Structure 1
Amino acid sequence: MTLLVTGGTGFVMSVVARAWLERDPAARAVILDRSRLDRMAERHFAPVRDRLTVLTGDICDPAQWSGRLDEHDITAIVHGATVTPISRGSAGEAKRQPEADDPARIIDVNLMGTVRLLEWARGKPGLRRFLYVSSGSVYRHHGPDWAGEPLPEDGYVAPLTLYGISKFASEMVVNRYADLFGLSALSVRLASVYGPMDRATGSRNFRHVPNRVAHMALAGDVIRPNSLEPVGDYVHSADVAQAIIALLSAERLRYRHYNIGSGVTATIGDVIGWARERVPGLQVEVTPDERANIVQDVTLKDGMWGAYDLARIERDTDWRPRPGREAFLDYMDWIAANESAANGEGT
């Protein structure tokens, strides 16, 4: 089988592409991305590079890629190409609205890019499944209505940002194409992803709390969060990749939308506590002012910021996420083993 992964030179999608190739020595993958493989991606794909084809092109311009994709027997698609204009993390970054820099580009890539790919895909009779990579940003800031319950896929959808709006609109377009043209199609809504290959790219320059804590701890920096209490549903990129592959491989899918997360929340204090297991001398100073280097809103504890319900994916596949501590420590070990060779590139 040959998997097409759009956005595959970046963060999560590069992990998906490699996981796909590692699971089956006969499998092949094609990446379509506007960027070529950087040095970190070249090292990442080295063990499977002979079965990987990388095509460069703008997802919004099929003339750049449709003919070249026709040369490959694509049997499944993971559409992850996106622009992610999120700015949070430090006090200075929290004041920015990066969506204002180029709002039309966000809509073009995230929505119309999806339409362009669906137009190509609907003419491929050998295509077994189309998986759209959406985001928890489609959800509202609060919910569910029962305290302590994880957020389900039904209801609670109220995106506020252009990113979230474009993601939800794309989900609906995917659903309609599935009905019109008989596609087996679904969308996955990712919680807060961190892990291997998490680095700045041309489409994404944002790091969730586990990434920031892990790098600061390993670098010997003092961590200055504005509070230890803010939470997130943090999920490792390798776990996300396995979840996506499980959904691609499932005999039957009962739903159009699936959450992928850890299913529980961790506080900033939890993540720092895990980091101290690798760096016992880690220094932490709660700093609720402009000097804070990790900033999150202490009032955001549920809705898109809380735990994601995993009942659907657990019902339709045998995938389960790893415990948060185990996944985070695995990531710290990966950083120590892999990113030092990059001489600071992409971290």
Structure 2
Amino acid sequence: MRTLLVTGGMGFIGSNFIRYWLQRYPADRVVNYDLLTYAGQPANMAEAAGLPNYRFVRGDVADADAVRRVLDEETVDTVVHFAAESHVDRSIADPQAFVRTNVLGTGCLLEEARRAGVSRFVHISTDEVYGALGDEGIFTETTPLAPNSPYSASKAGSDLLARAYFETYGFPVITTRCSNNYGPYQYPEKLIPTIITRAMRDEPIPVYGDGLHVRDWLYVEDHCAAIDRVVHQGSPGEVYNIGGLNERTNLDIVRAILAELGKPESLIRFVPDRLGHDRRYAIDPAKIASRLGWQPQVPLEEGLKRTVAWYAANEAWWREAAKRGGGV
């Protein structure tokens, strides 16, 4: 039996992970530690609220006293750290918020977890820390970090802190770096939910630049399964890249969703490119496949169908979520 502290568990990937974990390991206890910023939706975990092995604690990862209190109260043995500011556009507008949460918050959490004697700390990061690729090549765990946005720079900073805690203190930190996630409960500001929700309302769909920026897409349940392998089998001090093996241009994704919804491509509107927009990401997940036996299971076409169906069936959720963040 484990007691997990999951930070950012009201967010997109965190809430999917908690649901995944409670379903597969009902004997474990999960403590969800989340500040409930605009992207943290209480509705994401409403179904777990009454479970005896689930607890929600509202708190800031940068608040050492609050983190120390929850670690001590629950005798946590495993931390899975999702909590982060993650939207590139917002990082360009307000970089200091990303430094505070992603760098200072991770540093605070690492120190308090070390003090509490946590036996495993899984730090969830992103492929964006590697920067941009050209038309060829792929990110591996040894690719140098070369972040290009305030968001990715703050995540790279948190990754280096995680590494330092292993190298300096022998603290059992494992870092994962994933490609672009998609699926149910993703906040409406991100690309795929933006396309879906705007298309459902027959609104113009903005596409940055020429729309040919390439991303590797990973269905969120596949990501959760990969983290499961890391929690149970990963080696402290290691980095594991988690990719979906689904490289597509942004324009490909827009067109696929419009086709799934039966909407015309005339909704597409090309807009000026954003600052520091990386041209291509691609992850090599060979290490986690060979060492931990994980591979993605959900093809992109199937994952998009599931995701479109979920947003179509949960309009009240995404409308309320958007209002919390100042959207429609």
Q: TM-score range by the shorter chain?
A: 0.7 to 0.9
CA contact (8 A) 2:16 2:220 kept: yes
* Contact persistence 2:129–2:156 (CA under 8 A): yes
Pair 149,65 (structure 1): closer, same or farther in 2 beyond 3 Å: closer
Q: Offset of 1:311 from its aligned partner?
A: 0.9
Q: Is 1:174 aligned to 2:162, yes or no? A: yes
Contact 2:87/2:190 (<8 A) preserved:
no
Report deviation, 1:198. 0.9
d(CA) in 2 for partners of 1:231 and 1:194? Answer: 15
Give the distance between the partners of 2:304 and 2:317, measured in 1 at CA: 21
The letter for the 2-side match of 1:197 is Y
Provide the residue aligned with 1:184 in structure 2.
172
* Identical positions, percent: 26
- Deviation at residue 73 of structure 1 after TM alignment: 2.8
* 1:123 alignment partner, SS class: helix
Q: How far is 1:317 from its partner? A: 2.0
Aligned to 1:41: 44
Hey, what's the Cα distance between the residues in 1 that align with 2:243 and 2:220?
Answer: 10
Cα distance in 2, alignment partners of residues 324 and 119 from structure 1: 38
CA offsets per residue over residues 183-212 of structure 1, 9 Å max, x none?
Answer: 321111122222211116xxxxx402x222
1:258 matched residue in structure 2: 240
Unpaired stretches in structure 2, ≥5 consecutive residues = 323-328
Alpha-carbon displacement from aligned partner over 1:310-337 (angstroms, at most 9, x marks no partner): 1111122222222211111111122123
Q: Does 1:142 align with 2:133?
A: yes
Partner of 2:250: 268
Question: What is the letter of the counterpart of residue 94 of structure 2?
Answer: E
Gaps of 5+ in 1: 89-95, 201-205
Matches within 5 A, 1:236-247: 236-247=219-230
**What residue number does 2:124 align with?**
133
Partner of 2:30, secondary structure, is strand
* 3-state SS of paired residue (2:293): coil
Q: Is the 8 A contact 1:254 1:316 kept in 2?
A: no
Q: Does 1:152 align with 2:140?
A: yes
In structure 1, distance between residues paired with 2:286 and 2:47: 32
Q: Tell me the amino acid that sits aligned with residue 333 of structure 1.
A: A
Are the counterparts in 2 of residues 274 and 329 from structure 1 also a CA contact under 8 Å?
A: no
**Higher alpha-carbon deviation: 255-264 or 326-335:** 255-264
- For residues 65 and 120 of structure 1, the distance between their equivalents in structure 2, rounded to whole angstroms, comes to 7
Structure 1 position 41, deviation (Å)? 1.8
Q: Which has the higher helix share?
A: 2
TM-score w.r.t. the length of structure 2 is 0.85
Compute the displacement of 1:345 (Å).
0.9
Shift in CA distance, 216/179, structure 1 to aligned 2, threshold 3 Å? same
1:244-291 per-residue CA deviation (whole Å, 9 max, x = no partner) reads 1121111x538622222212311234324432553234343554457x
Number of positions where the alignment pairs a residue of Structure 1 with one of Structure 2: 317
Mapped to 1, the partners of 2:153 and 2:259 lie a distance apart of 40
* 3-state SS of paired residue (1:114): helix
- Of 212, 216, 229, 2:212 maps to 229
Q: Which residue is 1:14 aligned to?
A: 15
User: Given the two structures, how large is their TM-score scaled by the length of structure 1?
Assistant: 0.80
Which of residues 56, 59, 65 is equivalent to 1:57? 59
